[in-house]
Structure 1
Amino acid sequence: MVDASSDFLEQKISELSVDDPRRQLERICEERRIGCSWVWYEPIGLRFRVDFPNGREKRSQFISGGDAEKFLSVEFPAFTYLGDFDGVFFSESRTIEAAVRSNISNLLFHDIPGVRRIEHPQLQLPGMDEEVEDDARPNAKIRTNDAWILEFDPTPDRPDLRVQIGSASREFNVVSDRRRKRFPGSERVALPYGLGRFPTIRISGVREVRHDDILDILNRVSGAVFFELDLQYGVATSIVPSAASEVARSRSRVRQEKAQQVPRNPTNQYPEKPLSLYWYGRSSGIPLLEYLAYYQVLEYFFPSFSHRDTLEKLRNELLDPRFRPDDDSNLVRIIGLASGAGKGYGSEREQLRSTISGCVTEEHVRDFIEGSEILREHFSGKQKIKDVAHLNLDDTRNDFLTAVANRVYDIRCRIVHTKEDGGKSAANLLLPFSKEAEQLGPDIELVKYLAQKVLITGASRLHL
């Protein structure tokens, strides 16, 4: 990207026609005090950057000449983006619209009673083998390329609030993060209902004006709609995250360096049950579930390591020359060491600490974190996950493994929303689609690393 102050960029801007739609877009942005600038990207060329409103934040879009024409056609800029979703609020029509996706095929929507096909004369996509009519036919079979809509019956207390799921509106097709995606083999098509395979949820009649209140409506209404669709029709649906939030999530993951050696036959075998949990974490693709799966790998070994730690403490106590079997206080101390909770000894936090210290050293964990710039920045910089233990790599006076165990356990508690060790205030819930969940990548890598180490420690020789 070329610096906006460069002479090269100024030259490229001066070469634009006075009728270039990006210039018109620039004038509107300046009149309405919307942040904007010009940037040059290799190899795609000149782009006009607009910082659209998104509550207390902004969402930047890099707009080509063709994109600018489309933005100017949708009452620009009478909309605001909504949080970390690929969703917007159109202030003129008082309508929320957000992209949705199913974990199976979107065609499942088409099997829901009430879905109808929307057709327009200008809709000519590849594979359409019959004449298109400008009407809506509820009984027509819906094909992959068709535009469609499903309208929900309003409730008596809010008859003005309308909810629909269907192909993206023309306006949303322009401002969505997905606007550059094309149907294979076709040019971009601007339609009142967009492409048939690009579904959205629309909520009309919204009275609220504040961004956070509108975002709350989107969360609550879509959550209820999606849950009931799943209950009644088995359609599992969610709102699509914004492109920026998906990039943030991918950037928070650490890329593992691949080994250069040729693979060899394994000499170890690993415990079947915790290994199954490990593979569940690797395949889940959902950050919170992945974290919990790796934590469960550690949890599986709690009894082994907590017993080992307790036996060592008992051995040290009995070897103490001052131990007297006829002294009740000495025996009470032995009873206290031997008493435990559940399958292991000590609290869950203590068992986790024993397990971690049984499979890694402080140097192991420090080297792992310091070997990645992403991990170093995440754990040493400004804390992105609230209410969890901080890992200070520069602190050599305190027990680093205890801090690691505390952080792993604190995040686990925030995911499952438990109370700690008998009655402290409940941890704040770590929500699946929150910014904190997006930033969880380095912590997932840490607990995965610990799960790998404990599996190695619990391995035995492979005999076939």
Structure 2
Amino acid sequence: MPVPKRKTKNRFATALQPETDGRRAEATRIAKEVLIGKLRDRCAVSGYRLESRKGGLNREDDRFTLHVPDGKDLVEVPLSWSNVAELRRTVQAVASGIEWLGDRSAFAEMGQGYIEAAIRAVRPEVDLPSWVAAYTYRVDPDLFPDVTTKPDSARRFQPFTTPNQGRMTARNDRLGIFVEISAPSIMAEVLQHRLHGPFLRSSAWAGQAYFATIKIWRPAGIRDRDHAVALLDKVTRSTSYELDVSFSAGFELCERPVWPPDSYDLVNEPKNERMSVHQPLTLTLNEYSQDGLSYYWHARQSESIPVMEYLNYYQVLEYHFAQYALARTLEFARQKLKDPRFDPANSESLTRFVNAIGDQVKSKGTDFPGLLATLEHCIDVDQLADFIESDDDLRSHLTKKTIPGVPQVVTAQRDQLVERMARRIHGIRNTLVHAKGENRNEGSFILVPGSAEMRHLVQEIKLARFAAQSVLIASSVSAKHSRDFD
């Protein structure tokens, strides 16, 4: 039986390895410097602004920021390079006229007729935090295996391959449009901080999340940014709905992450700093409205669906309209009965009194008058002001004209604070429920799910939640008035 030859190491090759690695690293460094020079030149010729910046997000080459056109505005985009291919691809993107597409996590290369946008699942994974699920979508590889080998719409743009991530392709030959949903392309990786945010790739959840983009290629070209936005909207609406009908795999476009982020942890996800509390806590044993609490808990359980969450908080308020309308009416009646000019024996005087009471009941028990009566009775102005001032994002949002048709809420105006809060909550509620086909060109405004304006609902929910909590507390029965604890 022949004895197998023993494998021996090539000592000469091993000795040369450090030298070979050193030469390779030097060649890479030189190639990067040459490409950075080309990028600077290309930006200067094309009117892009490229800036050097200090530090990075755990990547050696996070050293540059590109200001990408977005209509009349510029979007600051930190560039993230880990190899020469990504740098080369950035030069090509600038040469082909890259532009950002509004508040979406989306960009277009006009010269290539190419659009790419980050997408998220309509039904997010329940085991992922909301801030991760907001940028996560998985293409089921069993349904859509990545088997294509010839270069086509997205292969042209060199997408990465991701384990357990499939690749969905579609085409319309008559209109000349090709679509792919797959892992982010090389250029999307370069722009990752404004597509998926700075937290995700360096967080503990990165290994459990799936990142995908929709890629749209129109060889005939894209006329301008407005054409790109319209094409993106029409293609995503149609594709998402049909994927959901056929495979329960609907998606929606992600919103562009804020940059620079207010705060971030380079290793772990964002944390809420909380101080330990003094115990034991005070056990109030207040008796809260059972039906009001049902609406409140429904709202808390609907946090993944902001519209439903907001409307359920409003239902907490609406549930108490009749209670505080009656309280207002009784107070009105007491004031009238104290008036020495009121003569109960006079039919005309009594008729006026009864009609006035009827008007009070009708007005205070519905919509805005009922809401205002409820909030004025339940909201402590100083508590409301402190709540708004304690949240920088909320305070800033409420002082800006971010949503048409609702008043600003400024804590310095204490005498108007509750009324403005009521008008704002009522206005937001109307924009959500009165979607009857109006549009802003006809002088009205509605908050449509998926729209750029809808992102402001996150801040509005904070105000509605505070109002609902305050009303439930003010409407509760103290334990000392309950016989259950006698």
TM-score (norm 2): 0.71
Asked if structure 2 preserves the Cα contact closer than 8 Å seen for 1:277 and 1:297, the reply is: yes
- Aligned amino acid, residue 355 of structure 2: I
> Could you say which residue in structure 2 is the equivalent of 1:310?
329
- Cα deviation, 1:54-106, whole Å, max 9, x if unaligned, reads 22222222235536751422513122222222222222331222222223465
Describe the shift of the 1:371–1:197 C-alpha distance in structure 2 as closer, same or farther (beyond 3 A): closer
Give the counterpart of 1:324 among 327, 343, 350. Answer: 343
- Cα deviation, 1:82-133, whole Å, max 9, x if unaligned, reads 2222222222331222222223465564465xx3423679xxxxxxxxxxxx
Describe the shift of the 1:357–1:214 C-alpha distance in structure 2 as closer, same or farther (beyond 3 A): same
Establish whether residue 295 from structure 1 lines up as the match of residue 314 from structure 2.
Answer: yes
Query: Considering only CA atoms, is the larger Rg found in Structure 1 or Structure 2?
Result: 2
User: d(CA) in 1 for partners of 2:57 and 2:102?
Assistant: 31
User: d(CA) in 2 for partners of 1:280 and 1:248?
Assistant: 31
Asked if structure 2 preserves the Cα contact closer than 8 Å seen for 1:375 and 1:442, the reply is: yes
Structure 1 residue ranges without an equivalent (≥5): 1-15, 122-133, 135-142, 189-195, 420-424
Q: Percent identity?
A: 24
> Could you say which residue in structure 1 is the equivalent of 2:232?
218
Deviation at 1:256, TM superposition (A): 8.9
Asked if structure 2 preserves the Cα contact closer than 8 Å seen for 1:417 and 1:427, the reply is: no
Deviation at 1:314, TM superposition (A): 2.1
Give the counterpart of 1:450 among 450, 464, 467. Answer: 467
Asked if structure 2 preserves the Cα contact closer than 8 Å seen for 1:85 and 1:241, the reply is: yes
**1:168-207 alignment to 2 at 5 Å?**
168-176=184-192, 177-178=195-196, 197-205=210-218
- Cα deviation, 1:133-171, whole Å, max 9, x if unaligned, reads x9xxxxxxxx9715633233538xx43123333343444
What SS class does the counterpart of residue 162 from structure 1 fall into?
A: strand
**1:329-348 alignment to 2 at 5 Å?**
330-339=350-359, 345-348=364-367
- Aligned amino acid, residue 182 of structure 2: G
Establish whether residue 35 from structure 1 lines up as the match of residue 49 from structure 2.
Answer: yes
The structure carrying a bigger helix percent of its residues is 2
| Aligned length in residues | 407
> Could you say which residue in structure 2 is the equivalent of 1:386?
404
Asked if structure 1 preserves the Cα contact closer than 8 Å seen for 2:310 and 2:461, the reply is: yes
Describe the shift of the 1:219–1:30 C-alpha distance in structure 2 as closer, same or farther (beyond 3 A): same
Deviation at 1:260, TM superposition (A): 1.8
Asked if structure 2 preserves the Cα contact closer than 8 Å seen for 1:417 and 1:428, the reply is: no
Asked if structure 2 preserves the Cα contact closer than 8 Å seen for 1:94 and 1:204, the reply is: yes
- Cα deviation, 1:153-203, whole Å, max 9, x if unaligned, reads 538xx4312333334344444444349866999x99xxxxxxx94332233
Give the counterpart of 1:428 among 438, 441, 445. Answer: 445
User: d(CA) in 1 for partners of 2:361 and 2:273?
Assistant: 37
User: d(CA) in 2 for partners of 1:437 and 1:183?
Assistant: 28
Establish whether residue 411 from structure 1 lines up as the match of residue 424 from structure 2.
Answer: no
Asked if structure 2 preserves the Cα contact closer than 8 Å seen for 1:378 and 1:384, the reply is: yes
RMSD, aligned CA: 4.1
Asked if structure 1 preserves the Cα contact closer than 8 Å seen for 2:402 and 2:456, the reply is: yes
Mean alpha-carbon deviation: is it higher for 49-58 or for 330-339?
Answer: 330-339
What SS class does the counterpart of residue 237 from structure 2 fall into?
A: helix
- Aligned amino acid, residue 117 of structure 1: D
Establish whether residue 401 from structure 1 lines up as the match of residue 421 from structure 2.
Answer: no
TM-score (norm 1): 0.73
User: d(CA) in 2 for partners of 1:299 and 1:248?
Assistant: 36
- Aligned amino acid, residue 230 of structure 1: D
User: d(CA) in 2 for partners of 1:395 and 1:269?
Assistant: 34
What SS class does the counterpart of residue 243 from structure 1 fall into?
A: coil
Establish whether residue 240 from structure 1 lines up as the match of residue 254 from structure 2.
Answer: yes
Describe the shift of the 1:234–1:357 C-alpha distance in structure 2 as closer, same or farther (beyond 3 A): same
- Aligned amino acid, residue 393 of structure 1: T
Deviation at 1:331, TM superposition (A): 1.6
> Could you say which residue in structure 1 is the equivalent of 2:439?
none
Give the counterpart of 1:149 among 167, 174, 184. Answer: 167
User: d(CA) in 1 for partners of 2:203 and 2:387?
Assistant: 43
Establish whether residue 166 from structure 1 lines up as the match of residue 182 from structure 2.
Answer: yes
Mean alpha-carbon deviation: is it higher for 436-445 or for 288-297?
Answer: 436-445
- Aligned amino acid, residue 96 of structure 1: I
Structure 2 residue ranges without an equivalent (≥5): 1-28, 126-136, 156-160, 265-271, 437-441
> Could you say which residue in structure 1 is the equivalent of 2:388?
369
Describe the shift of the 1:147–1:410 C-alpha distance in structure 2 as closer, same or farther (beyond 3 A): closer
Deviation at 1:301, TM superposition (A): 1.3
- Aligned amino acid, residue 70 of structure 2: N
